[in-house]
Amino acid sequence: MEEKRVVIRSAKGKTLTVYAKVNNGRLEEIVFGGDYFAYPEDSIVNLEEKLRGLGLEEALKTIEEYLKDTVLLGISVEDLKESVRRILS
Amino acid sequence: MVEEIRLIIDKHQDPHYNMGFDEALLTLRVQGEIPPTLRLYMWDPSAVTIGYFQRIRDVVNLDYALEKKIPVIRRITGGGAVYHDRDGEVTYSIVLDARGRFTDVQESYRIICSGIVEALRDLGLEAIFKPVNDILLNGRKVSGSAQTRRKNTLLQHGTLMVSTNLDELVRLLVVPREKLESHRVSSIRERVTTVSIELGKTLSPEEMIPYLIEGFRKALGAQLIEEKPSPSEEKLAEKYAEKYRSIEWNYKR
């Protein structure tokens, strides 16, 4: 098990600070921390749950699908995906 | 267009109660129990609030906060960490229906923040709104806001540093190195300012309040009618305050 921290300064203006526990190329736990905004907020917390146990490809697909109806401010879906790419590569 | 907005002025309240009151405003507006409401308030003791998504131990110097008995409270709104100086800061909160010109999130930030921009301009200061949620004086941050939405109702609250002790702010708040670098500064101290610093004379939070009332009146195009909080609001605020006192809530991330 490996602990990772990734910081992304989004072009949208805010900072995404991601913490994850990785086991064999899969996310054991992930927290999308930072000073950004998401509407509704729950969608991020629920996404973190959904990502448990997933590898890179599944995780990227899940982020894309799960945030379809979420309004992000200060960061983008691409920032969240990029953070997971960095964590799992 | 909103024509009348209720105004509540709450000086020097308990930090947990303050966050509880804002959440109570949101709940009661969603239920149609209260009209659109603007609240201007202060804190006693000083406190730190953090954004909903932030990891508490990464954004606050917890040892120092504990030593100084400064409560650290997680908000229901996103955004960053804020130092609410008992003697130097005014906070506002507003609940409105998220429709018409308030439908778009970013645009609603701009409209509501222009209440503070107007207040600062009345003082002769060149205030600029910088999306997403900042207000700058001379390129430095003097105010930040955060908004959440429930069922077509928005709650936005924000800070205005009038005469905040910035040395204390620097001791309390931790900013990721990556964020400082992107702003090309080596410490958060270089990125923030207060109304008093920019005016070149000390203004107290109490003295700022009339400017804010006038600024929000202009920005919202509404009449502000001052009222006392109702007993049901105070009761719900107290109930929510318990959540803001709990380790489970504040340390959940």
CB contact under 8 A, B179 and A15: yes
The closest alpha carbon to B88, from B5, B12, B182, B175, belongs to: B12
Instruction: For residue B208, give Cα distances in angstroms to B146, B196, B239.
Output: 20, 10, 30
The string of DSSP letters for B99-126 reads -GGGSSHHHHHHHHHHHHHHHHHHTT--
The string of DSSP letters for B215-226 reads HHHHHHT-EEEE
B-proximal residues of A, 60-79, CB under 8 Å: 71, 73-74
Whether residue A86 lies within 8 A of chain B, CB to CB, comes out as no
Check whether B2 has a pLDDT greater than 80: no
Whether residue A55 lies within 8 A of chain B, CB to CB, comes out as no
CB contact under 8 A, A41 and B78: yes
C-beta of residue B224 within 8 angstroms of C-beta of residue B5: yes
Q: Where are the beta strands (DSSP E) in chain A?
A: 2-9, 15-23, 26-34, 37-39, 71-73
Confidence band for B176, pLDDT divided at 50, 70 and 90: confident
- The per-residue pLDDT string of chain A (89 residues; one tens digit each, 9 = 90 and over) reads 999 999 999 999 999 999 999 999 999 999 999 999 999 999 999 999 999 999 999 999 999 999 999 999 999 999 999 999 999 98
Calpha distance B153→B175 (Å, rounded): 31
User: Phi first, then psi: what are they for B53, rounded to 5°?
Assistant: -90, -5
Residue type at B196? S
Hey, is B45 helix, strand or coil? coil
C-beta of residue B21 within 8 angstroms of C-beta of residue B76: no
Q: Please name the CATH architecture into which domain B4-240 falls.
A: 2-Layer Sandwich (3.30)
Structural domain boundaries of chain A?
2-88
Instruction: Name the CA dihedral angle for A21, B179, B145, A75, rounded to a multiple of 10 degrees.
Output: -60
Q: Quick one: pLDDT at residue B1?
A: 53
Q: Quick one: pLDDT at residue B43?
A: 98
What residues have CB less than 8 Å from B121, skipping those under 6 apart?
B127, B215
Q: Quick one: pLDDT at residue B183?
A: 79
Confidence band for B184, pLDDT divided at 50, 70 and 90: confident
Check whether B10 has a pLDDT greater than 60: yes
CB contact under 8 A, B54 and A35: yes
Confidence band for B187, pLDDT divided at 50, 70 and 90: confident
Interval B145-168 mean pLDDT = 97
pLDDT in tens, B82-92: 999 999 999 99
Check whether B150 has a pLDDT greater than 70: yes
Calpha distance B157→B38 (Å, rounded): 10
What residues have CB less than 8 Å from B140, skipping those under 6 apart?
B190, B191, B192, B193
DSSP β-ladder status, B72-74 and B47-50: parallel
Q: State yes or no: cis peptide before B72, omega within 30 of 0.
A: no
Instruction: For residue B89, give Cα distances in angstroms to B7, B12, B23.
Output: 18, 10, 20
Chain B residues touching residue A13 (CB < 8 angstroms)? 131-132
Q: For residue A89, give how far its alpha carbon lies from the nearest alpha carbon of chain B (Å).
A: 21
CB contact under 8 A, A33 and B131: no
What residues have CB less than 8 Å from A75, skipping those under 6 apart?
A8, A10, A12, A14, A16, A34, A36
pLDDT in tens, B105-116: 999 999 999 999
Whether residue B76 lies within 8 A of chain A, CB to CB, comes out as yes
Q: Where are the beta strands (DSSP E) in B14-77?
A: 37-43, 47-50, 72-74
Q: Quick one: pLDDT at residue A57?
A: 97
Calpha distance B2→B220 (Å, rounded): 7
Please report which helix (H) or strand (E) contains residue B173, including its range.
Answer: none
For A2-88, which CATH superfamily applies? CO dehydrogenase flavoprotein, C-terminal domain (3.30.390.50)
pLDDT in tens, B116-136: 999 999 999 999 999 999 999
